[in-house]
Amino acid sequence: MIELHTDQEVAEMAAAGEFVSSTLQTLKSSAVVGTDLLELDALAHDLIRRRGAESCYLDYAPSFGTGPFGYVLCTSVNDAVLHGKPHSYRLRDGDLLSLDFAATVDGWVADSALSMVVGTAGADDLELIELTERALEAGIAAAVPGNKTGDISYAIGNIAREAGLSVNLEFGGHGVGRTMHGDPHIPNAGRPGRGFPLKPGLVLAIEPWFMRGTDKLRVDPDGWTLRSADGSRGAHSEHTIAVTKDQPIVLTRNRATGGPAA
């Protein structure tokens, strides 16, 4: 079911957005060469506890995963592109790390993701990250009344097409509210003018994720971590936004810089 939220409810969601954004910034600062993925998850767990928030991931058990996720943070490294299940792995120089984090504060959910290079950054990785960030901003700009969800998808996919990338349509953006994943589904490519009409009060997680060499995925034995089928690297950027009668409100924008939560 697609839900529309009041101005007051959108204002209440800001607390969740600020917490998710600040947590990702803390995690990004802590992700250095030698940091274990389990240490990042433990840090996120501690920040949730101190805030009095709730994890959206810990007991999450959708049809596309194997059992409850069991952690509070997705940590995807290099060719792991989505739903990376934390495990004992110490980050190495040049690793491309994506962090995806969602939490509930006072009953409202916010969901956001960023990608970064640990230590020495290669030009190809930086370009891939920048492409997802540009696609995210293009998708946000299209999230205005009068457009449809397909306009968001088209804006995202156009960035990928111009860069010569193919796009996986299995996983993409989604509605956000009292739960993490709701309707409508927003694939990362599509046709303009198609889909659900965008109306004030619609809250969405918009999340471009691109792989360098393929649009096919394979699943790790852990039943969760999704990797590119050809071993190429991937990057992921995500914000939770609210459609208003004017311009979109980015609830997970990093307030300290005014830029993307990345």
Identify whether 259 is part of a domain: no
**Secondary structure of residue 190 in the 3-state scheme:** coil
Residue 57 covered by a domain: yes
Q: Is 45 annotated as a binding residue?
A: no
Annotated binding-site residue? 111? yes
Condensed to tens digits (0 to 9), the pLDDT of residues 25-78 reads 999 999 999 999 999 999 999 999 999 999 999 999 998 899 999 999 999 999
Tell me: is residue 7 an annotated ligand-binding position.
Answer: no
Domain span at residue 41 reads 7-250
pLDDT tens for residues 105-156?
Answer: 999 999 999 999 999 999 999 999 999 999 999 999 999 999 999 999 999 9
In a domain, 88, yes or no: yes
pLDDT tens digits for range 160-177: 999 999 999 999 999 999
Q: Are 111 and 20 in contact (CB under 8 A)?
A: yes
What's the pTM value of the predicted model, to 2 decimals?
0.94
Q: Look at the chain and report how many structural domains it folds into.
A: 1
For residue 1, being part of any structural domain is answered with no
Rounded to the nearest 10 degrees, how much is the dihedral formed by the CA atoms of 124, 238, 101, 186? -120
Residue 256 has pLDDT above 50, yes or no: no
Name residues whose C-beta falls within 8 Å of residue 155's C-beta, 6 or more positions apart in sequence: 135, 138, 139, 141, 142
Residue 259 in this model has a pLDDT that exceeds 50:
no
CATH number at residue 102: 3.90.230.10
pLDDT of residue 116: 98
pLDDT tens digits for range 223-252 = 999 999 999 999 999 999 999 999 999 999
- 257 domain-assigned: no
Average pLDDT, the chain: 95
- Does 64 reside within a domain? yes
Residue 256 lies in a domain: no
